[in-house]
Amino acid sequence: ETGVTQSPTHLIKTRGQQVTLRCSSQSGHNTVSWYQQALGQGPQFIFQYYREEENGRGNFPPRFSGLQFPNYSSELNVNALELDDSALYLCASSGRATEAFFGQGTRLTVV
Amino acid sequence: EDQVTQSPEALRLQEGESSSLNCSYTVSGLRGLFWYRQDPGKGPEFLFTLYSAGEEKEKERLKATLTKKESFLHITAPKPEDSATYLCAVRGGYQKVTFGTGTKLQVIP
């Protein structure tokens, strides 16, 4: 167990809706990153937060947004859901070292 | 743009049959190359970080090596419990992390 927890584990939403996914980082870690993993693919980097500021972003549109809180937990928000947003969403936390430790993921299905 | 290519896509080994997985990468300003193991429906499990060419790290039956263009994950005498998808990733500029699509390893008893 990594100590990174994500909620919910599974979620079904309708196209056009908005969704919020949550992540609690491992104790002592101040950096959280989010990834989208489609079936059979590697994780795709969405963005990273360090001490409540976004400090890195992948090739995702602005409808993917996030927050990091003072306790270093984080949220991923996705607006105007599309069918292609169906995927496993992974959160990872890291500390002074660069390696990241992942949670178990949230499986999002958009219908 | 940073790129990571892993080969083979899938590998089937007999228990005890050693082999290597390949990760070729292009990145501007490598800030770390990572290996992860992922079981179906779960998040990736961290294995190794490598930072510079010539570096090697070992853990049980696994050994990771790094050159300026590629990394290898050597699996010695694998067991069925080593069956998983092995992911390679690089961290480049602006904190962006790029993953490969993985190698799915099956070890048969």
Average pLDDT, chain A: 93
CA distance linking residue B53 with residue B65, whole number of Å: 8
Q: What are residue A103's phi and psi, to 5 degrees?
A: -80, -175
What sign does the CA torsion over A23, A46, B26, B105 have?
positive
Closest partner residue to A56 (CB to CB) among B87, B94, B102 is B94
Helices (H), A19-108: none
DSSP string computed for B63-92? EEEE-SSEEEEEE-S--GGG-EEEEEEEE-
pLDDT over threshold 80, residue A77: yes
pLDDT at A97: 64
Please, what is the Cα angle at A67 between B100 and B51, to 5 degrees? 35
Q: Which residue, chain included where needed, has tokens 């590998």?
A: B11
CA distance linking residue B11 with residue B56, whole number of Å: 23
Q: Please write the tens of the pLDDT for every residue from B68-109.
A: 999 999 999 999 999 999 999 999 877 788 999 999 999 999
pLDDT at B95: 77
pLDDT at B18: 98
Residue B5, strand partner residues = B24
Closest partner residue to B96 (CB to CB) among A42, A56, A97 is A56
Q: Does A57 touch chain B (CB under 8 A)?
A: yes
Closest partner residue to B100 (CB to CB) among A42, A98, A107 is A42
Residues of A in contact with B42 (CB under 8 A): 104-105
Q: Please write the tens of the pLDDT for every residue from B8-64.
A: 999 999 999 999 999 999 998 888 999 999 999 899 999 999 999 999 999 999 999
pLDDT at B85: 98
User: What's the rounded mean pLDDT across residues A68-85?
Assistant: 96
Token readout for A53 is: 């500021």
User: What's the rounded mean pLDDT across residues A20-41?
Assistant: 93
Token readout for A63 is: 């409808």
pLDDT at A26: 86
- Number of A–B residue contacts, CB under 8 Å: 66
User: What's the rounded mean pLDDT across residues A80-109?
Assistant: 92
* B44/chain A closest Cα distance in angstroms: 6
Residues of A in contact with B64 (CB under 8 A): none
User: What's the rounded mean pLDDT across residues A59-68?
Assistant: 96
Q: Which residue, chain included where needed, has tokens 């228990």?
A: B15
pLDDT at A2: 65
pLDDT over threshold 70, residue A32: yes
pLDDT over threshold 90, residue A29: no
User: What's the rounded mean pLDDT across residues A92-106?
Assistant: 86
Contact A61, A103 (CB under 8 A): no
Q: Which residues of B23-51 are buried (b: 16+ CB within 10 A; e: fewer)?
A: bebebeebebbbbbbbeeeebbebbbbbe
pLDDT over threshold 70, residue A31: yes
